[in-house]
Amino acid sequence: MNEKVSEDVKKVVTSGPTVSGMFAPDQENLVEPTSKSEEDYERCTQCGYCRLVCRVYNTTYAERDYAGGRNRILKSLKKKEIAFDKEKIIDAIYQCMLCGNCRTVCPSGIDTLEVFQTYRRTAVRKGVMPEKLQILKNSILTNKNPFLESGTDRFNWCDSQSCNEGHKAYERGAEHARKIAFGELKPSDIEEHLVGYFVGCTSAYRNNELSTATSRILDKMGVKFIVFPDEYCCGSVLFRTGLEDDAIELVHYNVDMIRKLGVNEIVFSCAGCFSTFTTEYNKFTEGDLGFELSHMVQFVPKVAKQKGLKIRYTKRTKEDPLIVTYHDPCHLGRYCNVYDEPRELIDMIEGVKLIEMKHNREMSWCCGAGGGVRALYGEISTDIASTRLDETVACWEDINEDRLKEAIETNAEVLVSACVFCKNNLHLAASQTKPDLPVIDLSQILEDCEFY
């Protein structure tokens, strides 16, 4: 096609049904979820639109695995047309990343995430408990982290040698907590805008590069933040996997702990923790958390603007920028509507240029890690005894590979995200199939930036 014709065609197809205009979320009748009813699945017309956007369905091809299929099962269960078998139903419940893409395109406005999380909750109450989930649950309840690690090791990442900035923030936090505990300081007496960094289990125990980078960025920007010495797991995994009953205690614990310290704003490097605070923590405190929430991709541009700071990536120049493509994490994007800020942030960085993937923002493909899928199905990949699980796991890998294919098509040098789970999952797939494509967190670019 010549360029003129191609332009004309583009105009035509984006105004009509052909091409992705058909899934544009601004369509008149793609309504906002109309109710939060637990039985919203009743309103599913089985239209099948969400089938095409479901990364799980497009990997397993099983009707059971997409939202419409799951809704059908729910309807049949309600009418007792099929039995509820607590062993056999596990895959039908948990093979879903709760990525929310189905919710974005549902013409009936069904809040599929609400429906499926309720489904999981009800199932757990009826005795459904995958073995791996039980281990995870025990670890969170006992150690306050899902990794079977000792609670006392939570701050190993920020000893003075590995991350001095984090170390200082930890000490500030400990001192602040002590003063409050001994009545030397009252929260109401704190004059400055106190910022706390909620590190989260994964950055604390597994991905120290994130907690380190975050601490260094905040430090470079002149933010005198604290780290919470008494931080517990936020409970995200429990909420996603139907163990809400066990998570509520963590909500109250963390909220009380933060409120007592008089912190005004919490900064997160973990998209999972951020979305759990934004949705569940807000819900269980009836919208009255008492402190602001910001993910780093929001906090950095905000503070940079307030302080009149410019950002320059030291490893490249304006003329020869690093070409990145941004993977929207479900927990920032579809869960919390954070789409513009990370793009704005990348735009602010001199020496970095953003190229979009085909599926971005509301229509971004999930990396394949969410909803407990990585935890429940990822490790079983080694279990060669079960061909079925083998295939399933292969499917998760396929999901990751597909997402990478898109990144490659944009000719990006680096795939960046702002979620530790996305990073890990995409990185794993990259190491197996696309070793030349680095997958990093945005904070790792910011760590190599100058703020001036």
CA distance 447 to 215: 9
Taking CB under 6 A as the rule, does residue 241 contact ligand SF4? no
Looking at the Cβ atoms of 38 and 230, the one nearer to ligand SF4 is: 38
* Total number of residues that touch ligand SF4 (CB under 6 A): 28
To another protein, the closest distance from the beta carbon of 305 in angstroms equals 36
**Listed ranges 105-113, 151-159, 260-268, 271-279: which one lies at the site for ligand SF4 (CB under 6 A):** 105-113
Closest CA to 237 of 93, 135, 371: 371
Among 98, 204, 223, 426, indicate the residue that binds ligand SF4 (CB under 6 A).
Answer: 98
Looking at the Cβ atoms of 28 and 436, the one nearer to another protein is: 28
To ligand SF4, the closest distance from the beta carbon of 167 in angstroms equals 39
Asked whether 326 and 319 are in contact (CB, 8 A), the reply is no
* Partner whose binding site includes residue 236, from another protein, ligand SF4, none (CB under 5 to 8 Å by kind): none
* Partner whose binding site includes residue 67, from ligand SF4, another protein, none (CB under 5 to 8 Å by kind): ligand SF4
Q: Which residues sit at the interface with another protein, rule CB under 8 A?
A: 1, 5-6, 8-9, 12-13, 15-24, 27-29, 31, 42-43, 45-49, 51-52, 60-64, 69-70, 72-73, 76, 81-83, 85, 88-89, 91-92, 107-108, 387-388, 390-392, 394-395
To ligand SF4, the closest distance from the beta carbon of 368 in angstroms equals 9
User: Scanning residues 50 to 69, which ones bind ligand SF4 (CB under 6 A)?
Assistant: 50, 53-56, 66-68
Looking at the Cβ atoms of 117 and 145, the one nearer to ligand SF4 is: 117
Taking CB under 6 A as the rule, does residue 378 contact ligand SF4? no
Closest CA to 73 of 88, 61, 59, 58: 88
User: Scanning residues 108 to 167, which ones bind ligand SF4 (CB under 6 A)?
Assistant: 108, 110, 112
Taking CB under 6 A as the rule, does residue 48 contact ligand SF4? yes
Looking at the Cβ atoms of 351 and 371, the one nearer to ligand SF4 is: 371
To ligand SF4, the closest distance from the beta carbon of 51 in angstroms equals 7
Looking at the Cβ atoms of 89 and 217, the one nearer to another protein is: 89
To another protein, the closest distance from the beta carbon of 31 in angstroms equals 7
* Partner whose binding site includes residue 106, from another protein, ligand SF4, none (CB under 5 to 8 Å by kind): ligand SF4
Asked whether 326 and 338 are in contact (CB, 8 A), the reply is no
To another protein, the closest distance from the beta carbon of 430 in angstroms equals 24
Residue appearing with tokens 């292969």: 394
CA distance 217 to 211: 10
* Partner whose binding site includes residue 100, from ligand SF4, another protein, none (CB under 5 to 8 Å by kind): ligand SF4
To ligand SF4, the closest distance from the beta carbon of 70 in angstroms equals 6
To another protein, the closest distance from the beta carbon of 446 in angstroms equals 35
- Interaction site with ligand SF4 (CB under 6 A): 44-50, 53-56, 66-68, 71, 96-102, 105-106, 108, 110, 112, 366
